[in-house]
Amino acid sequence: MCKTDCDTCSGICDKSNTHKTEYLKGSASGFHASDSVTFGNNLTAQKQSILVIDYFEDMSGIGGICGMGFKALSDGYATMLDNLQAQNVIKNRKFSFYLSEADREGKEQLSELIIGGYDEKYIEGDNKQFVFADILKNNTFQYDYWAVAMDKITVGTENINFYENTNLPLRTVIDSGTSLAVFNSSIHDKFVKAINDYSNMDCEFLPLL
């Protein structure tokens, strides 16, 4: 999704093929287009479907959004990761983030998005391995969000149980594009209380976030 127009698009625009996208905060609408999209110096997805925005609400200051979710969230169009893999630009349909503490500690290494896998130099420990979780499908048996089974959240020393009168953990969306935390009311109230209790401590003695 990008804010542009057909005069600056080197690909194909179809103004008759419109779409509106709703977010938790704000919305955007526009028409579909196809163009080459390049990330970094050498990752180019050819004939990538994009949504050219001609109207947006509560999204000021944003030049565009590159969704990292699944095809079920993109009107059935191939996502950027789908195309990069299909066009043999990347081997694996993976991405990872390294979040730096450069601003806090004066480190030179900035945060980084790695498309196609991960960089082992950012992993601590001898075995250089992540702990992976299975991705869960939605109610229509499709992959849509990066959703995992979560059984609890720990804030400080307090555990907030995610079980809802069942023995099954909740399907929980991990969204790298937002800082919003959305729960049902029972979990939300416990989470907010735990955060408030924790934040009332002297920040000097809290670990860096």
Of the two residues 125 and 45, the one the predictor is more confident about is 45
Of the two residues 90 and 199, the one the predictor is more confident about is 90
Spans of all domains in the chain:
6-86, 94-123, 133-202
> What are the percentages of helix, strand and coil residues in the chain, rounded to 5?
20, 30, 50
The pLDDT tens digits for 90-108 are: 999 889 988 877 655 555 6
Of the two residues 145 and 197, the one the predictor is more confident about is 145
pLDDT at 8: 55
Q: Contact, 189 vs 196, CB < 8 A?
A: no
Say which CATH topology domain 6-86 has.
Cathepsin D, subunit A; domain 1 (2.40.70)
**What's the average model confidence in pLDDT over 197-206?**
58
Q: What is the pTM of this model?
A: 0.72
pLDDT at 44: 94
The pLDDT tens digits for 25-43 are: 677 788 888 889 898 878 9
